[in-house]
Every structure is written in C-alpha cells, then in structure tokens.
Structure 1
Amino acid sequence: MTAENKTAEEGSETIITDDDADLQAEIVKLRAKNKELLAEKQKVKLKAQEAQDAADNAATAAAERNGDIETLKAAHATALKKLQDKLDAADSDLKTIRVDNELTRAYNENGRPELAEQFIAWAKGRVQYENGTATVDGSSLGDFVETYLSSAGGAHFRRVADNSGSGALGNSSTTAPLRLTKRPTTPAEWDYLDSLSTSERNAVCDAIGAPDLKE
C-alpha cells in the first residue's frame, strides 16, 4: 500500500482507493435508509387511514344514538362511494389486463413483432367493453385480430410465413405480400395504399407514422 492508501493488483491497471470503498459503503447505507423511509411512509399512511375510518365510525355511532338521520345518510353515502371507487378501480384494472393480454396473445400468433405496439394501440381504440366482456364490432378480440390480419389491410401487420421448405404446401408464389414500413414512394406502394379500406388505410398510416395520408 502506498502513501495515498491505494491497493493494486499486480499486473493490472485497475486501482481501487479507500475513497472508492467509502463511497460504495455510503451508497449502500443511503439505499437502506431510503427503503426504511419508504416503509415508514407506508405505515404513516395506513395509520392516517385507520384514524380517518375510526373518526367516521365514531361520527356514525353518535348520529345513530342521537337519531341524526341526515348525518347517517351522509355517512352511508360516503361509505358507498368508497366501495364504488374500489370496484371501479378493480374493474378498470381487470379491463386493462383482459384487453391487453388478449390482443397481445392473438397478435403474437401471426403478427410482426416490430409492429405489435402500434397494432395493439390501434386495436384498443376499437374495443367495446361491457359487463366484463371485450369485443370489437361484436366479435371476440381473438377472432377480430385473426380476421383483420388475414385481410388486405392486415397484410401490413401479418408475419410472413416461411414457405421455403420442401414440405411447404398451398403457396406456389415466391413473392412476399407488399407491405409498407415507410411512406409510399413507388407507384406499386401508392396503389397498395389506395386499395385499402378506410380503416385499414388509417391503421397502416398510423403504423408508418404518416397520419397526413389518412382518409
């Protein structure tokens, strides 16, 4: 060890000083303290909620003893709203999970991975969710995605099947379907875009970042 309190491994250029070790130790302490403060914050929040609930319960009990009907009505309305808010939050979470998971599952079966985010964002805007059931134009999400990816507009999002093997059947063409990954520049690309239905064209325009080409 030198006068500068350095340690070095022979034959190596790496030098670790006591200052570095002290800094790492301080970082570990700070992380532990941060974790401790977060836990304490959660405890305080829980105690505050418990205190509020106790106060509400005490007010309700007093109102019941005194026959204060209006106070009881207000207390019951508050309790009902809390329950409804919890139910709404749970239903919203469930909707997100069901819709996102089903669209992702269905798309991943045949869709191009690099366009998954754009497709799912577009598809979610078409979803109707009612009584825990998600549909698009009356079809289940899985059926909708499968049907759309099989359409002309869906070809842009559809993953090209590997038909090059010796056992490939049902496809005598070696030409891959036309797809747009950027604004059209050739006559064939413009013809392809113009051949799509309005909804298909708009989906493709969103995917390639060309909203000005939407109908």
Structure 2
Amino acid sequence: MTDNTEKLDPKLAEALATIESLKESVTKLEGFNSVLKQENKDFKSAAQTAEQAREAAAEEAERANGDVAAIEKRLTDKFQKEIDKLTSERDTLSGDLRTIRVDNEITRALAEGNVFEHQLEPLSYMFKAKAKYENGAATIDGKPVGEFISAYLGGEVGSNFRRGTNNSGAGASGNTNTTVPSKWTKEEFLGTRSREAQLLARDNPTEHNAIVSQLGLPDSLKV
C-alpha cells in the first residue's frame, strides 16, 4: 500500500512550508511585540517614576523654601522682640534722662530766682506740667526753661514768690503785697490758670483774696 502523505502535490507542499514559515514569523513578531510592549510599559513606568521623582524634588524644594521662610520669620520675630525690648529700654532711659534734665533745670532756675522755700514745690509742679523736651532741650512755651522761669519770676505774679521782692519790711505801712497782676483775668483765675490760683490761695491767701476782690469775684472764693 502506498503512503499518500509522502506523495503530496509539490505546490501543496510549498504552501505548507510557507505556512510554517509564516507561523514562525508570526511567533517571532508576537515575541518582538511582547518585548516592545514590555519596553513600552517599562518606559512608561520609568517616565512615571521620573515624574514622581521630579514632583517629589519640587515638593522637597518647596518644603525647604518653606522651612527657610519659617526660619527667617522665627529669627526675624526673635530679633524684632529684642529690638523692641532694647528700643523700649532706650526710650525709658531717654525719658528718664529728659525728666532728670527738666527737673534739674527747673530746680536750678528756682534756686537762682531766690524763691521762697515753701513755694518751691508748687512752682516746680507747675513748671514741670508746662515743660517739653524738644530737639535735646527743655523748653516752656518755646523758651529755654531757665529763661522762661527767670522771666516769670521777674514778672508781676512771679515776683511775689521771691525773697526780697516787692517787700519793704514787715512793718511797712500800707504794703500788704496785694498788687493785682494786670494779666490776671476772671477767665484765667477761674479756668485756664485755676490750678495756679489754688496754689496761690494755699501759699499766699492775702494775695489770693486781693485778686478775688479786684476782679469783682464773689467773696465766697476768698480763703
């Protein structure tokens, strides 16, 4: 019996061989495609990893910048607190120094003005309330403290606070030291200079009562 499989038509045999070759090619292509897919997958994964790394680096940089800003802010706040503290201490010392200078100038001016001892405190209080410290100098109404006080003590009101001024002796007839300063007005006596009037009532009742009378004020204001 003849084996027909060994007697295939040459054309059929060629076709079968071509099919086998194509199958091998397809297999190779499929394998290559699989490699390409894997490479593409690996590439995408690598790209994703790179992007994540880039984002992480950017985030780290931002975080680092944030830390620097926080550190700068903390240091700035710390230094600002120190600056504020030192500034406050400086202002306090400066204020104390101004006060001492003003007090010294007032004390010196009153001493040079030969003011009665019992008038020193009220006059000092009055001048301190008026004094200002400007451009490194103590002033009252824009004048140096010493100059202002000297002028005041040489005036009609201030002269009454000085020893040996407007006084002809305890036994002098008709001299009661009651001359009314022309610059006293009712408005000043009762308002703008009422504190000075109160001090005058305490320290020189005679003068105070004379002013009340000559200004035509009620006797109830006399002491």
Q: TM (normalized to structure 1)?
A: 0.50
Whole-Å separation in 2 of the counterparts to 1:127 and 1:97: 12
Alignment of 1:153 with 2:146, yes or no, is no
* Residues 136, 144 of structure 1: 8 Å contact kept: yes
- Letter matched to residue 139 of structure 1: K
Q: Partner of 1:118 in structure 2? A: 122
Change (3 A) 1:163 1:80: same
Larger % of helix: which?
A: 2
Q: Partner of 1:181 in structure 2? A: none
Alignment of 1:92 with 2:95, yes or no, is yes
**1:86, distance to aligned residue in structure 2 (A):** 1.3
Q: Partner of 1:139 in structure 2? A: 143
Alignment of 1:203 with 2:191, yes or no, is no
CA RMSD of aligned residues (A): 3.4
Give aligned-pair identity as a percent. 29
**1:104, distance to aligned residue in structure 2 (A):** 0.6
Question: Which ranges in structure 2 are unaligned for 5 or more consecutive residues?
Answer: 1-66, 209-219
**Deviations 1:81-120, CA, capped at 9 Å, x for gaps:** 1110111111111111111111011111221111100000
Structure number with greater Rg is 2
TM alignment of 1:1-215, pairs within 5 A: 67=68, 68-110=71-113, 111-161=115-165, 178=177, 189=178, 192=180, 196=184, 198=188, 202-209=195-202
Q: TM (normalized to structure 2)?
A: 0.49
Change (3 A) 1:94 1:174: farther
Change (3 A) 1:136 1:129: same
Change (3 A) 1:177 1:134: farther
**1:192, distance to aligned residue in structure 2 (A):** 2.4
* Residues 127, 136 of structure 1: 8 Å contact kept: yes
Equivalenced residue count is 129
* Residues 156, 204 of structure 1: 8 Å contact kept: no
